[in-house]
Structure 1
């Protein structure tokens, strides 16, 4: 199976959808922030491993605590994933904190500040 085959893209989407549902509805760890979203999921072609990119709307400490909570609940999440998806192998999940959304918001804010400064200089 090629890395970007249609089957692999479909599996990535299904795992992402199920992970989002499991994290939102079934995991009860208080470390996991309420505004946690699964940005993307990359499942290896052999279905043995999975990288889940997690975004948390909040501070960096909240994001790190959320990833720690998800890592401790990995066994439960993996068993729920096996129950909900019919895959030959249930992948071992590696949670990675994705800060690209936060980076984009900060860059947009800086661009707006520079544009505002330039408008004041023209006046």
Structure 2
């Protein structure tokens, strides 16, 4: 019987916590200061990890800053976590929050435009 909380899930959550701490306190690049990590997906063989992030003001410089810091972040993860191999980090912008806000505005607009029924 499979465990309800697999090792990949635990490693993903730990990587997310450690990366958030590193981005907040260790990385000095101003392009990556206001980033929120939304999720981390680790591959089954632990060789790669997709790190999903969002920000109030997204820019192309932000992605470039994260890619430039990926090596440093990976080395720091290796020092903080007890893993045989530290996964390569691949950063992906998470558009779900932007889409959710857009849908919320559309729903609000539709409610305003609909006449009340009696």
**TM more than 0.5:** yes
3-state SS in 2 of match to 1:69 = helix
Please state how far the C-alpha of 1:64 moved relative to its aligned partner: 2.5
**CA deviation after TM superposition for structure 1 residue 6, in Å:** 1.1
Moved over 3 A (4+): none
TM-score by length of 2: 0.88
The CA distance in 1 between the partners of 2:5 and 2:45, in whole Å, is: 12
The answer for the alignment partner of 2:101 in structure 1 is 105
TM-score (norm 1): 0.85
Q: Any stretches of 5+ residues in structure 2 without a counterpart?
A: none
Identify unmatched segments of 5+ residues in structure 1.
none
Preserved contact between residue 49 and residue 93 of structure 1 (Cα < 8 Å): yes
**Number of residue pairs aligned between Structure 1 and Structure 2:** 116
- For 1:68, the equivalent position in structure 2 comes to 64
1:45-64 superposed matches below 5 A? 45-58=44-57, 62-64=58-60
* Deviations 1:7-61 (CA, angstroms, capped at 9, x unpaired): 1111111111111111111111121242x11111011121111110111112xxx
User: Any idea what SS the aligned residue of 2:41 has?
Assistant: strand
